[in-house]
Amino acid sequence: MKKLSTYLFLILFIFQTPSQADDIRDFQIEGMSIGDSLLDYYSKDEILKRTYKPIKGQKSDDFLEVGTYASSNSIYDEIHFSRKKNDNSYLIHNIRGIIDFKNNIKDCYKDLEKISNEISEIYPEIKFKKTTANNQRGKTTMYSFKLVKGRVKAKCVDYNKNYNDHLSVSVDTNEYDNWLNKKKFD
């Protein structure tokens, strides 16, 4: 299994100081930040090929999700991005790294707690919210850290069946976060 906590911490918070904690662009996943163009990392054809169609029941497609499998030297199994539908610059509004925990949700929860504690220790001024939600697919436990210009989230998803349990760490702009919580399914 991958050494998550230490590597994640180094990649997510590299070269950051507490005074920069409110700048969402300073948070990185695999060297990529909010506001970067996907065109700096992928060709337009690759982006379009990897853009998902809106999911069933989704009411708004203002943002589109782009998914990739991470490279073999990445700590993540997958990287996902969200971009605005009609943005020809392909600016990143959400970036999410995912690590599978096949039949090992206990280790996911341990890493989730480590990540949350590390963020809280280094950035005590950032208040977090812990939530747990259950639905027909399983249980999600999430820590959410609200910044001035966005949000950082870390969560474990414990599926009942048919999917791999996983840990995800994401960084969102306020615009994406508002869309996700208020418009996507309304």
Domain count, the chain: 1
Domain that holds residue 92: 4-182
Alpha helix (H) residue ranges in the chain: 4-12, 44-49, 105-122, 174-182
Q: What is the pLDDT of residue 131?
A: 93
Q: What is the pLDDT of residue 172?
A: 93
Q: What is the pLDDT of residue 73?
A: 81
Token look-up 């969102």 returns 172
Question: pTM of the prediction?
Answer: 0.82
Burial 40-78 (b: 16+ CB within 10 A, else e): ebbeeeebeebbeeeeeeeeeebbbbbebebeeebbbbb
pLDDT band at 153 (very low <50, low <70, confident <90, very high): very high
pLDDT over 70 percentage in the chain: 84
Q: What is the pLDDT of residue 22?
A: 57
